[in-house]
Amino acid sequence: MSNHKIARRLLAIFFVVGLLLSGTSAAAQELYLKYNVHTQADRANVLKGSYANYTNPGDGHVIIPAGTKINITKKSRRGFYFTHDFSSQEAYVEFHEPRMGMSVDAYIELITSTSPVSLSEFTATDQKGIKEGRAAIGMTREGVMTALGYPAVHRTPSLEASRWIYWQNRFRTLAVDFGADGKVSSITN
């Protein structure tokens, strides 16, 4: 079993044990996004996002920025809804457990923090990419993940890989290549 899979399983176990010990549910917690969440407004005025991180879904693209305070309002195996202090629109993130190799609870734990998130430790190149919600040459791995979201495991099974694949929309991908220095060396649409 890969280190990536072991880490995901341990993360899920710690999350569940923490919830049991605290006597709370994820729906009751105030959380902060560690990564941008790329969404698109639908007809019902809900911002819809995906575990696949549709980084350029087209008209109505809205980025809920890293550091945004959120509250999970409803969740199921197929996704979760949350309110946030970025706008009054509710957000929904679809989820596919087999493709991610983790539960929705583990995914929520992975992309959020229970304490406020600061972006001040990032380089100027990373901060610019995070603000714009895109990858750029010279960004660090953590900067790319914060800008584009946690990469979908079915296309990027290891965070140590030299290439991360993101979905721009349901039909097109974006490949982000990292050099030996761990920084983005090329981006291919």
* Domain layout of the chain by residue ranges: 1-189
pLDDT tens digits, residue range 103-161? Answer: 999 999 999 999 999 999 999 999 999 999 999 999 999 999 999 999 999 999 999 99
CA atoms in the 13 A half-sphere facing the CB of 183: 10
- Beta carbons of 27 and 72 less than 8 angstroms apart: yes
Sheet (strand 112-113) strand order:
61-64, 37-41, 47-50, 91-94, 79-84, 69-76, 30-33, 112-113
Query: Please, what is the average pLDDT of the chain?
Result: 88
pLDDT at position 87 is 87
In angstroms, rounded to a whole number, what is the distance separating the alpha carbons of residues 1 and 148?
27
What is the model's pLDDT at position 11?
Answer: 45
Residues 8-19 have a mean pLDDT of 47
Mode of pairing for the β-strands spanning 37-41 and 30-33: unpaired
pTM for the model stands at 0.83
Check pLDDT > 70 for residue 26: no
Q: Whole-angstrom Cα distance, residue 96 to residue 182?
A: 29
Nearest to 78 by CA among 53, 56, 44, 103: 103
CB contact at 8 A, 125 and 117: no
The lowest-confidence range among 6-15, 46-55, 57-66, 104-113 is 6-15
Question: What pLDDT is attached to residue 2?
Answer: 57
Give all strands (DSSP E) within the chain, no chain letters: 30-33, 37-41, 47-50, 61-64, 69-76, 79-84, 91-94, 112-113, 163-167, 173-178, 184-188
Mean pLDDT on 54-74: 94
Picking from 73-77, 127-131, 181-185, which range would have the lowest pLDDT averaged per residue? 73-77
